[in-house]
Amino acid sequence: MQQPKAVCFGEVLWDIFPEGKKLGGAPLNVALRMQSLGIATSMISAVGEDALGDEIRKTIAPEALTTFFQKSSTYPTGTVQVTLDANKSAHYQIVAPVAWDYITVSAQTLEAVTTADCFVFGSLVTRNTVSKNTLLALLQKAAFNVFDVNLRPPHYDYKTLIELMQQADFIKFNEEEIDETCRYLGAEAGSIEEQIEFISQHTQTRQICVTKGDKGAVYFQNHEWYTHSGYSVKVMDTVGAGDAFLATLLSGLLQKRDPQQALSRACAMGALVASKAGANPSISEEDLQTFIG
């Protein structure tokens, strides 16, 4: 069977923790994890012509991830100040403007998206019209659009969120994000399942997944429901846990795993990442299988 291919689009950056910096950016986290799980993955983004940009390139190279990184002489490589609250949940101060706000269309990236099995993007990259317009152009070429909703105030607007949801084949939220989105669209408060059905009907999206932190996730696929109650771990930090979850779920689906098994593996991977520092700790297939038990 031919190896599935994915393309991720959006921010690459350094997460700046009190103890130092770690590689990050939600779409990059997804790309690195999908690559590690056997999906031939490419990443489209931009970095600055600076030391931080050079370090990103050098750090990613050993991962054998295909990168389409534009270099900006005007804007710096992205950085985010990360703080952790008492529950080890992350809060972000996202610097703007930076290089990934100015990603442009190229023949190479158009071809990569056109030939991929899925195209993964988030909402943060649409905060600037240059990258937003590039995303909209690439969405027209993709076979299967995966929208990872990342509501990072003040870097989003509802008009764009609705536009992206309507173009998505698969939407991933966390509990807070789907609740906020439903309230904006006028839905009365209800269960997560009712919220998912509301979003599905409103946007004509056939696949929606909602993560619930340590309580697992709910996955809706073509009117079928799959749930998992999650795994208990000692949390180091929550940075990248949702990205690892999404990458593992998508990888499982692309590899034709049973949806329930794919969801279980995704919850396990998210928990393992939360138990370690940073968004991209090394976790092998053996580590995952041992953890699941």
Write out pLDDT tens, residues 176-203: 999 999 999 999 879 999 999 999 999 9
DSSP helix, strand, coil percent of the chain (3-state; round to 5):
40, 25, 35
Instruction: Select from 123, 118, 122 the least CA-distant residue to 145.
Output: 118
pLDDT at 1: 65
How far, in Å, are 14, 31, 112 from residue 64 at the CA level?
19, 11, 16
- For residue 92, the 8-state DSSP code is E
For 83, the token pair is 């703080």
- pLDDT greater than 80 at residue 244: yes
**pLDDT for the residue 19:** 87
pLDDT at residue 18 greater than cutoff 90: no
The Cβ of residue 18 has, within 10 Å, a number of other Cβ atoms equal to 8
Average pLDDT over residues 59-72: 89
Total-model pTM: 0.96
Q: Say yes or no to pLDDT of 129 above 80.
A: yes
The pLDDT-based confidence of 211 (bands split at 50, 70, 90) is: very high
Beta-bridge partner residues of 20: 17
pLDDT on residue 87: 81
**pLDDT confidence bin for 148, thresholds 50/70/90:** very high
Model pLDDT, residue 278: 87
CATH homologous superfamily of 5-278: Ribokinase (3.40.1190.20)
Q: Is the dihedral of CA 258, 31, 284, 23 positive or negative?
A: negative
∠ CA 256-121-139, rounded to 5° = 90
The encoded tokens of residue 220 equal 């809706």
For residue 92, the model assigns a pLDDT of 86
pLDDT at 88 over 80: no
Q: What is the mean pLDDT of residues 127-138?
A: 98
Give the per-residue pLDDT at 64: 75
* Orientation of helix 192-203 relative to helix 175-184, angle to 10°: 50
User: What pLDDT does 84 receive?
Assistant: 83
Phi then psi dihedrals of residue 225, to 5 deg: -115, 140
Q: Which of 52, 12, 9, 19 is nearest to 237 (CA)?
A: 19
Stretch among 60-64, 67-71, 211-215, 249-253 having the lowest mean pLDDT: 60-64
Average pLDDT of the chain, as a whole number? 95
What pLDDT score was predicted for residue 189? 75
Per-residue model confidence as pLDDT tens digits over 22-52? 999 999 999 999 999 999 999 999 999 999 9
**Exposure b/e, 81-120, CB count within 10 A at least 16 = b:** ebebeeeeebebebeeebbbbbbebeeebeebbeebbbbb
Is residue 193 helix, strand or coil? helix
Q: Give the total residue count for the chain.
A: 293
Q: For residue 203, what are the contacts with CB-CB under 8 A and spacing of at least 6? A: 162, 165, 166, 168, 171
Summarize the confidence of residues 207-219 as an average pLDDT.
97
Burial bucket for residue 133 (CB in 10 Å: 0-12, 13-18, 19+): middle
Using one digit for the tens of pLDDT, what is the confidence trace for 161-175?
A: 999 999 999 999 999
